[in-house]
A and B are shown apart, each in its own frame.
Chain A
Amino acid sequence: GQQVMQIPQYQHVQEGEDFTTYCNSSTTLSNIQWYKQRPGGHPVFLIQLVKSGEVKKQKRLTFQFGEAKKNSSLHITATQTTDVGTYFCAGPGEYGNKLVFGAGTILRVKS
């Protein structure tokens, strides 16, 4: 079935350093969504990308969708302790009726 692979599994950075998580699919995705889950919390929708090569920014967060619509990335510039959490990407399932989530990247920020 449809799979979305996400790397790295875990990253520990010094506050102020940049962070990137990558998401890859074996098939073309019609769209990709990103979610953030704070420790002890629930996933919260961040953004959706739809167009090939699309780039969207939310303050220090930059989201990209690959030209082939098979991969995506989330880049955080100058991390802060508030960025701590798990970042999930999610793509459409085989029949477009559900999301398939990546395993997530756990981000820890050392101040």
Chain B
Amino acid sequence: GAGVSQSPSNKVTEKGKDVELRCDPISGHTALYWYRQSLGQGLEFLIYFQGNSAPDKSGLPSDRFSAERTGGSVSTLTIQRTQQEDSAVYLCASSLGGLSNQPQHFGDGTRLSIL
């Protein structure tokens, strides 16, 4: 079956531009997570969705970052007025339920480069 799908796989943009990253979770997975990973670093939690609502947005670095999820499925992460420090791999994961005892399934990520 299909896994978590993210697009685009790579994005290069100029500083100050807005970018939109997409995540299509595994069908039937109600929980969806966004993480950021800088080169050689660990996973930085950004936001968590249960269905269409986001009970935990605590990891969003600034108000330039926002995310939404529609239809309990696809999610988009938007970064406005991008800065060079936003350069990283953005990973999306989904799990069957919203509890921490569910394995998370990750997509291949979007590699974002800000020039």
Binding site for B on A (CB under 8 A): 30-31, 33, 35, 41-45, 48, 50, 88, 91-93, 95-104, 106
Contacts and interface: CB of A to CB of B under 8 A. Distances in A.
Interface of B: 33, 40-43, 45, 48, 50, 55-56, 91, 93, 98-101, 103-109
Contacts of A44: 106
A42 B42 contact: no
24 contacts: A30-B100, A30-B101, A31-B101, A33-B103, A43-B43, A43-B106, A50-B101, A88-B42, A91-B100, A92-B100, A93-B56, A95-B56, A96-B99, A96-B100, A97-B56, A97-B99, A97-B100, A98-B45, A98-B48, A98-B100, A99-B33, A99-B104, A102-B42, A104-B42
Contacts of A50: 101
Nearest to B48: A98
A41 B89 CA distance: 11
Classify the secondary structure of B's interface with A.
loop
> Which residue among A42, A100, A104, A106 has the maximum number of chain B CB atoms within 10 Å of its CB?
A42
Nearest to B100: A92
A45 B104 contact: yes
A88 to B, nearest CB: 7
B100 to A, nearest CB: 4
A92 B43 contact: no
A42 B100 contact: no
A93 B45 CA distance: 11
Given A43-B106, A45-B105, A93 B42 contact: no
